[in-house]
Amino acid sequence: MNLNYAIFRSEPIMTINDLAQIGSHNKREKNSYNSNPDIDIEKSKDNIELVPLTDKYVKGFYNIVKDYRKEHEERMKTEREDRKKTFKQMLDKSNNVVADELLFTATNEFFKNMTKDDIKKWADTCMEFVYKDLGYTREQILHATVHLDEKTPHIHCIVVPLIKKYDKRTNSERYTISKKKYIKDKIHLSELQDKYYKRLTDKDYDLERGIKGSDRKHIKIKDYKKINRKLEENLNVRNDRLDKSIDEFVKQMKVTKNIPFNKNQVIVNVDTFNTMKRIVKESKKVVELQPKINEVFDEINGYSSGYKILEKENQKYKKEVDNLKLRNKKLKEENKSLMYQIKRIINVIKYFFRKLLQIGTEYIKDYTENEVKKYYDNCDFEMEDVKDIATGTTKEDSLFKYANVPDYYKTEKDFSDYEDEKEKEDYDMNL
């Protein structure tokens, strides 16, 4: 009997860079997939977008958490200089996840003979679990897709557990990202897996719950094989004992002659009788053990084949991480030079925008104001950058308000009459 198992797992995403890498994988954005034997890139067009995302993962993430980001930046305005962090720094260095990846699949046999529409219905049931049992809203789903370009169909659903939580220190509600709001611990995860299994079986999907505790232990396929070997050894021991008892009985029967018997009874010696009892006893143990072993064999073999899907996913991520580590050393060296160049470029842009706000026509100033706002929205400028650009110009009030620059930075002094040499000196110092 081939058993099919309902599989649901949760994988935390701890940093923005990790999120970007997972996004590249889930959206098939890497050229290396053209030569990946596990992915049939020609079938990628058949992948089903359950919750589409046209943007990159990071941009989509920032759109979901825009209020959280604004709240953080507002808080940093009054923070000590040595404690100030950008929004990204705060997220990456916190103990919380930035997002959570929910993985849904089943053993390969379950999908056999399914059409794309059939798989879509199964996937919709999985998403019902995300909304109704886990409790996520549509606004918290960054992206959800069904991969049909690999051996076994499976769902990647990226959720951002953004919530508002009461903060005792400030006596107010503040944004935070908390996976524990939705999956409290491993015991709760097991209960959710029960609910997931029930939701599928209520829709008449012929699936089994799977081995409880396997997610807690992260049992690998080689561990399943060890369990199989142990069960086989147990059965072999029983069979050996039974064989020895039968051999012993046969020998005794050969040397036993003229066994007295009548219509109602047979008289045998004590040794022969005890051997017969051992045969019956060992036979019973083998008979009792056999169905239990078969049941466990079916369960373990079925689950291990499904687990291979996730194991392959993990192996692919591991290979990608190893490659990234090799590249990272070189990138760190290049990064120092790059950051220096970026700083120079940003300063040039700031100087250019400031000069346009000082000496440009009203049309140029309006256009420049909009460009500064775009740079701020895209996180190319921080609040301090906007302050440096706008201070003392006719756009000071509007840009200060837009970037939430504190009023105490405002000045009545008009910098627009500064001599070009003085401005050039400040510019050169920044470079």
Q: 162 with 233: CB under 8 angstroms?
A: no
Q: 289 with 239: CB under 8 angstroms?
A: no
**Residue 372: exposure state from Cβ atoms within 10 A (0-12, 13-18, ≥19):** buried
Which amino acid is located at 361 in the chain? T
**Residue 105: exposure state from Cβ atoms within 10 A (0-12, 13-18, ≥19):** buried
pLDDT computed for residue 216 by the predictor: 41
Q: In this structure, are strands 6-13 and 99-106 parallel, antiparallel, or unpaired?
A: antiparallel
State how far Cα 347 lies from the chain centre.
Answer: 38
Closest CA to 110 of 94, 121, 97: 121
CB atoms within 10 A of CB 200: 22
What is the pTM assigned to this prediction? 0.53
State how far Cα 87 lies from the chain centre.
Answer: 21
pLDDT tens-digit profile, the chain (431 residues)? 456 788 899 999 999 999 999 999 999 887 766 656 778 888 999 999 999 999 999 999 999 999 999 999 998 998 888 888 999 999 998 888 999 999 999 888 889 889 999 999 999 999 999 999 999 999 999 999 999 998 889 999 999 999 998 888 778 899 999 999 999 988 899 899 999 999 998 888 888 776 555 544 444 545 555 555 655 666 666 667 667 766 776 676 666 555 555 555 555 567 766 766 666 666 656 665 556 566 555 555 555 556 666 666 677 677 777 776 777 777 677 777 767 777 778 888 888 889 898 888 999 999 999 999 988 887 778 888 999 999 999 999 999 999 888 888 887 655 444 444 444 445 444 44
pLDDT computed for residue 425 by the predictor: 46
Beta bridge partners of 272: none
pLDDT computed for residue 411 by the predictor: 75
Dihedral through CA 8, CA 307, CA 24, CA 34, nearest 10?
Answer: -140
Return the residue matching tokens 């067009």: 45
* Number of H-type helices and E-type strands within the chain: 13, 7
pLDDT computed for residue 421 by the predictor: 45
Question: Residue 270: which H helix or E strand, with range?
Answer: helix 270-359
Instruction: Specify the DSSP class assigned to residue 393.
Output: S
Cα–Cα dist 356/393, whole Å: 10
Return the residue matching tokens 């809203």: 137
pLDDT digits (tens, 9 = 90+) for 281-290: 666 566 655 5
Cα–Cα dist 390/358, whole Å: 9
Closest CA to 98 of 156, 57, 154, 145: 57
- Give the chain's end-to-end CA distance (angstroms, integer): 73
pLDDT computed for residue 418 by the predictor: 44
Q: Give the C-alpha distances (Å, rounded to integers) separating 414 from 357, 365, 417.
A: 12, 16, 7
Top-tier CATH class for 6-218: alpha beta
CB atoms within 10 A of CB 23: 24
What six digits make up the tokens of 98? 């930035």
CB atoms within 10 A of CB 400: 19
pLDDT computed for residue 101 by the predictor: 95
From its phi and psi, is residue 258 left (phi > 0), alpha (psi between -120 and 50) or beta?
A: left
pLDDT computed for residue 283 by the predictor: 65
pLDDT computed for residue 31 by the predictor: 73
